[in-house]
Amino acid sequence: MIALALFRACETDLVESFRVPRALCFWRSSRDREIDFLAGPRPRQVPVEVKYQNRVGAQHTLTIRNALRRGIVLSRHDVDVGGPVIIAPVAAFVATLQH
């Protein structure tokens, strides 16, 4: 629900920020693991997973790390920029889309 609300709130800016209309999709594995958004042109798509929770950690990055090796997990407050999967607050991510 949060992922859908976030997308709807910034849909125009999000699509324009990646400069490729209709380059926003989701990903699902054959084992029903999913990633909320893949944004941007192939092969440089950026996986984005929304985990709007009080605590977000390494366990929340597993699907992105195992399937696509890099990406962004959006949290309520947590920040971790020390690896190929960045954890960042939703507010910071949305602020970057507005510029």
Q: pLDDT higher for 80 or 2?
A: 80
Residue 23 has pLDDT above 80, yes or no: no
| Residue 3: partners with Cβ closer than 8 Å, 6 or more residues away | 36, 37, 50
Q: pLDDT higher for 98 or 57?
A: 57
pLDDT range class, residue 11, cuts 50, 70, 90: low
Model confidence pLDDT, tens digit, residues 29-88 = 788 888 888 877 777 788 999 998 889 988 899 989 988 899 999 999 999 988 899 999
* Residue 99: per-residue pLDDT: 52
Q: How far apart are CA 86 and CA 69, in angstroms?
A: 11
| Residue 41: partners with Cβ closer than 8 Å, 6 or more residues away | 18, 20, 23
